[in-house]
Amino acid sequence: MNNSSIIYSSDQGLLLGFHGCDQSIRDKIINGQIMMKASHNNYDWLGSGMYFWQNNHARAMDFAKNPPGKSKIESPSVLGAVFSLGNCLDLTDKSYIDRVRKSYFSLKATFSETNTPLPKNRPVPGSPNPNDKILRGLDCSVIEALHLNLIKKGDIPFDTVRCVFIEGNPIYEDSGFYDQTHIQVCVRNPNCIKGFFLPRNEDPEWSKAA
């Protein structure tokens, strides 16, 4: 299917995203000394690309202060970005959820032909919560297979991938809300990023002067 026929597939406006990183990296990106690098880990939640927490500065800072595994960021900070979704594999949209499901079964059949086990989603070794499968080898493989299939067919590639993740613990007993729920955006096409910025604090004097 050619994605150019889909006119309601994503938010066509500009969005704000936040990325947790070391202050030195943040400053070099903002100053134009380097470009933000795409992540290519085989366990990335939404496949390869540049990752942002949509409209969620606090979560980006929490990630910078508490990176997964044994990694450590010396000077935790947050990089802001303005971007468009473009042609988005939006996993808040049923049609795209169905396409990812189809990609899974296609990938499963391919692996079965060679008697090769599928990658798995798994927790970080030594994690106190075995159900917190943050190393998402299976999900990453499924999404990358979908992208590869588009290229093979000559269809328009996806610029971004977006998903809501229900994560963490219930915020109160029997709650349907979880304390680490967030929207994550993976930008594959760097041209979707319109600019980077240094996040600023609210001016506390505004309400007094108004």
DSSP state of 159: S
Amino acid occupying residue 31: N
Whether 44 shows a pLDDT value over 60: the answer reads yes
Q: What are phi and psi of 66, to 5 degrees?
A: -135, 65
Whether 13 shows a pLDDT value over 60: the answer reads yes
- The pLDDT tens digits for 158-200 are 999 999 999 888 999 999 999 999 999 999 999 999 999 999 8
Report d(CA 17, CA 80) in Å as an integer: 6
- The pLDDT tens digits for 92-114 are 999 999 999 999 999 999 999 99
Residue 1's pLDDT is what? 43
Whether 210 shows a pLDDT value over 70: the answer reads no
* Contact predicate 91/162, CB 8 Å: yes
Residue 4's pLDDT is what? 46
Mean pLDDT of the chain: 90
Could you tell me which residues come within 8 angstroms of residue 20 by beta carbon, excluding any fewer than 6 positions away? Answer: 53, 60, 61, 62, 63, 64, 65, 67, 73, 76, 77, 78, 79
Residue 70's pLDDT is what? 66
Residue 11's pLDDT is what? 59
Report d(CA 96, CA 169) in Å as an integer: 27
Residue 177's pLDDT is what? 94
pTM, two decimal places? 0.89
> How far, rounded to the nearest angstrom, does the alpha carbon of residue 112 sit from its chain's CA centroid?
29
Whether 207 shows a pLDDT value over 80: the answer reads no
Domain boundaries, the chain: 14-199
If you average pLDDT over residues 134-154, what whole number do you get?
Answer: 95
Whether 6 shows a pLDDT value over 70: the answer reads no
Q: How many CA within 13 A on the CB side of residue 203?
A: 6
> Which residues are 90's β-sheet partners?
162
